[in-house]
Amino acid sequence: MSLANPLLLFKNNAGQLLADPTGFLRTNWGSQARTLAETRDLFINMQRELQRHRWSRILINQVGMAPFSQAEQQWVAHEWLPQAVQAGGYRHGAVLVSHDVLVRLATAYVTTHVQGLPLVYRSFDKDADAVRWLVQQPKSPIG
């Protein structure tokens, strides 16, 4: 594993996206208030970066995250997720879980809507464990 620092690709009130030198996208959710538009911008940029780098893997850090609103849950589950899998090549998500039960419930709503999609989520408490699992997964949807 590379010791180089991840490169910042995008940042707004919802969070930040980083290019991990190991070959996957890191999403760090912020704890501050965010709008639906900011959440959408973060997710739209996730898909763009997956496509640009031909990646299929995301490490999603939700440790300090505020829970998804119902509108965010609906949009992610029904619009973004199918699009990210079909057009963006998203296949593996390693989630660093929050201790906040509301964040966990909102995330569970989204992750239960992957049925029928070629997407695998795993939850982790430690970054190193998430990275270890993620780098064992294929780098792109075609290999």
Q: Give dist(CA 63, CA 71) in Å, integer.
A: 21
Identify the residue whose tokens are 């760090």: 28
**Residue 128's CATH number:** 3.30.750.24
Please provide residue 9's backbone torsions phi and psi, each rounded to the nearest 5 degrees: -110, -35
Q: Is residue 39 part of a domain?
A: yes
Tokens of 22: 């190991």
Residue spans of beta strands (DSSP E) within the chain: 7-11, 15-20, 24-29, 57-61, 92-96, 120-124
Please state the rounded mean pLDDT for residues 31-50.
96
* The predicted structure's pLDDT at residue 84: 95
Q: Is residue 19 part of a domain?
A: yes
| 63-70-77 Cα angle (round to 5) | 80
Q: Is residue 77 part of a domain?
A: yes
> What confidence category does residue 112 fall into, taking pLDDT thresholds of 50, 70 and 90?
confident
Q: Give dist(CA 23, CA 66) in Å, integer.
A: 27
> What confidence category does residue 83 fall into, taking pLDDT thresholds of 50, 70 and 90?
very high
Identify the residue whose tokens are 């998203």: 90
27 exposure class (CB count in 10 Å sphere: 0-12, 13-18, 19+): buried
Number of folded domains that form the chain: 1
> What confidence category does residue 28 fall into, taking pLDDT thresholds of 50, 70 and 90?
very high
Top-confidence residue, 49 or 117: 49
Residue 93 has pLDDT above 80, yes or no: yes
Q: Is residue 117 part of a domain?
A: yes
Tell me the pLDDT tens digit for each residue of 57-80.
Answer: 999 999 999 999 999 999 999 999
Q: Is residue 1 part of a domain?
A: no
Q: Is residue 113 part of a domain?
A: yes
Q: Is residue 83 part of a domain?
A: yes
Q: Give dist(CA 14, CA 61) in Å, integer.
A: 12
Pick from 33, 88, 81, 34: nearest CA to 56: 88
Residue span of the structural domain in which 26 resides: 7-135
Q: Is residue 34 part of a domain?
A: yes
